[in-house]
Structure 1
Amino acid sequence: MTNGIHTAFFPGRTDLAPVLMLHGTGGDESDLLPIATFLFPEHPKLGIRGRINEHGSNRYFIRHEDGTFDLDNLNQETDWLLNAIEQETARYQLDANRLIVLGFSNGANIAAYAWLNKPTPFKIAVLLHPMMITPPHQIVNLTGYRTFATYGDVDPIVSEDNFDQLIQQLTDAHVTVEAFKNHQSHHLTQTELMAAQAWIKKL
């Protein structure tokens, strides 16, 4: 932990793109390691923990009791995360511009929000069960950015309409998107991970 940033680093082949792991609600910096190891076996992996605590659960930004999001906090915490990425990639001598994001749920949400609202170093992301938090302030041009995004049709948290809106926003921003919809809830399945693996092999 440095400067209040909780990170976990797992070395890998230095010629391969580093993977940034962004956990779901209640996870931590090493939570996605089994998934990252399955998808990117030999890549270096860096996890950064969200610094918001919701009833003992780690998150990347504040969610109100009624389920709505604190957009000012989201904006602030996205800046904090991007700064943390800059610091930690420098510390472990990783090329931030080659980063591949692996985000689940809350971690996928902040990654997608960052793309649509901030300059980001990462241009490739595997977004597992993301949702649209808020429409972007302006259309951005993310030509050359690529994402694989997953949705479960019995997800109690993310509606299909919400997921489709996020995909539309990313597409409007010229991100190359592959959306994967499956019969599942808000959790990870072998089926979606196999599909993600197939997508990664084509990169």
Structure 2
Amino acid sequence: MTEIHSAYYPGKINLPPVLMLHGTGGDESDLLPIAQFLFPENPKLGIRGRISENGSNRYFIRHSDGTFDLDNLSQETDWLLKAIQTEANTHGLDVNQLIVVGFSNGANVAAYAWLHKQAPFKTAVLLHPMMITPPTKPVDLTGVQAFATYGTLDTIVSESNFDSLTQHLQTANAQVEIFKNQQSHRLTQTELLAAQTWVKKL
């Protein structure tokens, strides 16, 4: 297995660990301020995507025309899930307890892992995710909880695409709370405060 670039920040061992999955151009520590805001006392683990797009880190290949390499997406998601297990074992974390905080590319791979790979984690804050490709067979996500945000001024993700993703998650029995706000494809304090409110109800 290729080298895993990760960062671990210890926290209270009785609290569920947080898995940070960055957006395009981020790294394993990129979402630490967000994770710290939402889960100040939880242990935190970040894993860097191993694809480089013009020097920017990603979790899977995006072609120059904006389409995605679905074979690579499947392979890299398998790699990421193994990397998560490896790092969880190293730090004594339970992958089934992980709470994902993913932004954009990181949120996309987390949602794909649920719909296509039966990923073990049950909870996620998905910040500006999109549907890459719908599942090819029925999936059961009973027990899964997600908070998903969308900006109505987003030029990267269409509202119909975001709605398709959340509908697929809900059809698979996931509980999804949706937050839409007049913003672009970037994080705002408004959505993070809404995410914080959702987190407190977990």
- The answer, yes or no, to whether TM exceeds 0.5 is yes
Match of 1:175 in 2: 174
User: How far 1:157 sits from its partner (Å)?
Assistant: 0.3
Please say if 1:197 is aligned against 2:192. Answer: no
Aligned to 1:101: 100
Contact 1:10/1:45, CA 8 A, preserved across alignment: yes
Q: Secondary structure at the match of 2:126?
A: strand
For residues 96 and 140 of structure 1, the distance between their equivalents in structure 2, rounded to whole angstroms, comes to 19
Structure 1: distance between partners of 2:173 and 2:120: 17
Name the counterpart of 1:17.
16
| Aligned partners of 2:152 and 2:182 also within 8 Å | yes
CA contact (8 A) 2:49 2:59 kept: yes
Residue correspondences, number: 202
The residue number in structure 2 matching 1:87 is: 86
1:10-159 to 2 correspondences below 5 Å: 10-159=9-158
Query: Partners in 1 of 2:89 and 2:135 — Cα distance?
Result: 29
- Per-residue CA distance 1:43-70 (angstroms, 9 max, x = gap): 0000000000000000000000000000
Q: What is the CA-CA distance between 1:3 and the residue it aligns to?
A: 4.5
Q: For residue 10 of structure 1, what is the amino acid of its counterpart? A: Y
CA apart distance, 1:119: 2.3
The structural deviation recorded for 1:120 is 1.3
Output the amino acid matched with 2:61.
I
Cα deviation, 1:174-199, whole Å, max 9, x if unaligned, reads 00000100000000000000000000
User: AA paired with 2:29?
Assistant: S
Structure 1 distance, partners of 2:119, 2:164, is: 21
SS of residue matched to 1:102? strand
Q: Structure 2: how far apart are the matches of 1:75 and 1:140? A: 16
- With the length of structure 2 as denominator, give the TM-score of the two structures: 0.99
| Structure 1 Cα separation of the partners of residues 84 and 189 of structure 2 | 29
What CA distance in whole angstroms lies between the structure 2 residues aligned with 1:78 and 1:59?
11
- Conserved 8 A contact 2:18-2:45: yes
Identify unmatched segments of 5+ residues in structure 2.
none
Any idea what the Cα deviations from partners look like across 1:115-158, whole Å, max 9, x if unmatched? Answer: 00012120000000000000111120111100000000000100
Are the equivalent residues in 2 in contact too, given 1:139–1:172 (CA < 8 A)? no
**Partner SS state of residue 53, structure 1:** strand
CA contact (8 A) 1:7 1:29 kept: yes
TM-score normalised by the chain length of structure 1:
0.98
1:138 partner SS: coil
Percent identity reads 72
Over the aligned positions, Cα root-mean-square deviation in angstroms equals 0.8
Contact kept, 8 Å, 1:14 with 1:44, in 2: the verdict is: yes
